[in-house]
Amino acid sequence: MCRHKRSAHCGESDIPSQGGVSNSVLNVRKAPVSLTGACITAALIFGGLAAPAHAVDTPSDVLQAVTKATPDTVANAASVATTSEGTNAIEFTVSGTTVNVPVDPAAGILLSSARGAASVGLPFATGAANAVVERPGVVSYDNGNGSRTVAAVQDDGSVQLNTVIENANAPTRYDYPITVPEGHKLVANEGGSVFAVNDAGAVSLFIAPPWAKDALGKSVPTRYEINGTTLTHIVDHPQTNGVTYPVVADPWMGEDLMHRAWIDIEPQGYTVNVDATRAGRIFSGPLTLWAHEAELRDKLGGNAWRVTPTIREQFFCHVVGNYFERNQYNMESWLPYKNWWEQLNPTDRCNPGSGHSYS
């Protein structure tokens, strides 16, 4: 149920859930929607409006290329102070997650929250130039080899790392050394996404499937390779016929699937409420549901016992069907049990037997 509209599907979402019921795995970002590009979802997932220290009046060529390839990346960049001086170009905290983007690319990007900390090294960092401010929440690094790395901190605390490939002589392999919490490792999923996960199933980082496109919007073959804790984004641009440069390739990452979860006591029982992050709406394929449930229980803390079978199935329905749902997810304890895929329909709308009049 959407608390204020009395509907499980209140309106069109800004972010389509591309891992729908018919998909067997994460089917995220076949085209860019939103940590969004070869954003490493880790899940790099945040403050008030502040003027950038070195704002630019007109978009640079690199910013124009990113904006054309993935407009949501720029539109959803955090309105946060951004500088090319000192230690951090960007420091942003939202919903308990902090993102630090360095001036010196060799320092790497740091993500930290109560769930742990992860750092992401940048490609060719030892030879790249220091950060250049592109606009609030967005900086670029010139790699000195015909490519640039563009780091865009999104307003939900995720990070999109775009590679702008300027010509056919630029590299095809871009390494992201990743440091994850102890006991976690990088695991590739069918469909191209990557999780940092431990043996207990706890996820500390979400990385969306990669994509790449040229200046005319043509898709360029791309994929990830994992070697230990290094994620390599491979872009086969010189081997692709008819490529028009620049090519933009995008990994996107984040740490959290939800900003918060809480309980409301009602006359009939109680509701479990979830405020999902952008990452939570993107990583919505059926094979991600275990990660959503684990984080829901973690966010509820002492109220985790309230995730009963009927609450769980309503929640799963909301996660997979969030394309139509702009607002929070609300799951009611008094509704009857029904498998999530059976209640994902225009009648139930993830609230089976509620009898609501939907508008």
Looking at residues 223-249, what average pLDDT do you find? Answer: 94
**Pair 62, 150: CB distance under 8 Å:** yes
Burial class (CB in 10 A: 0-12, 13-18, 19+), 58: exposed
Lowest mean pLDDT among 24-33, 132-141, 198-207: 24-33
Percent pLDDT > 70 in the chain is 80
Other beta carbons less than 10 A from residue 342's beta carbon: 11
How far is CA 24 from each of CA 13, 18, 257, 322, rounded to the nearest angstrom? 22, 11, 19, 17
Ordered alpha helix ranges (H), 132-288: 278-282
**Distance, CA of 96 to CA of 98 (rounded, Å):** 7
Q: Looking at residue 358, what is its pLDDT?
A: 36
- For the chain, give the mean pLDDT: 80
pLDDT for the residue numbered 349: 87
Tokens representing residue 100 in the block: 């630090």
| Mean pLDDT calculated for residue range 265-281 | 89
Q: What is the pLDDT of residue 30?
A: 30
For the stretch 3-17, pLDDT in tens is 433 333 333 333 333
pLDDT at site 150: 96
- What is the C-alpha to C-alpha distance for residues 114 and 278, in angstroms, rounded to an integer? 19
Residues 6+ apart with CB under 8 A from 55: 82, 133, 135, 136
Structure confidence at residue 94 as a pLDDT band (50, 70, 90): confident
Q: How far apart are CA 156 and CA 119, in angstroms?
A: 18
Please determine, for residue 28, whether its predicted confidence score (pLDDT) is greater than 60.
no
Q: Which residues pair with 120 in a beta bridge?
A: 109, 178
Q: Please, are residues 190 and 181 in contact by the beta-carbon 8 Å criterion? A: no
Which sign, positive or negative, has the C-alpha torsion 315, 316, 319, 321?
Answer: negative
CA–CA separation, 177 and 119 (whole Å)? 8
- pLDDT at position 201: 72
Global confidence as pTM: 0.72
Model confidence at 102, pLDDT cuts 50, 70, 90, reads very high
Q: Which of 179, 185, 178, 180 is nearest to 200 (CA)?
A: 185
Enter the tokens of residue 67: 């904006």
Q: What mean pLDDT comes out for the span 69-88?
A: 92
Distances (CA, A) of 242 to 213, 234, 235: 12, 18, 15
199 pLDDT higher than 70: yes
Of 101-105, 119-123, 203-207, 230-234, which range is least confident? 203-207
Residue range 72-81, pLDDT digits in tens? 889 989 999 9
pLDDT tens-digit series, residues 251-268: 777 767 888 899 999 999
Which pLDDT belongs to residue 128? Answer: 97
Instruction: Show the CA angle centred on residue 254, arms to residues 248 and 255, nearest 5°.
Output: 165
Looking at per-residue pLDDT, the higher value among 129 and 40 belongs to 129
Place of tokens 């670029």: 140
CA–CA separation, 303 and 306 (whole Å): 6
pLDDT category, 323, cuts 50, 70, 90?
Answer: low
Quick one: pLDDT at residue 11? 33
pLDDT band at 324 (very low <50, low <70, confident <90, very high): low
Q: How confident is residue 140, by pLDDT bands cut at 50, 70 and 90?
A: very high
Find the range with the poorest average confidence among 148-152, 155-159, 188-192, 347-351: 188-192
Percent helix, strand, coil in the chain, to 5, is 15, 30, 50
Q: Are 160 and 73 in contact (CB under 8 A)?
A: yes
Q: Which of 241-250, 264-273, 344-353 has the lowest mean pLDDT?
A: 344-353
Mean pLDDT within 82-95: 93
Helix (H) / strand (E) element for 116: namely strand 116-120
> What would the pLDDT profile of 332-344 be if each residue is shown by its tens digit?
999 999 999 999 9
In whole angstroms, give the CA distance from residue 154 to residue 131. 17
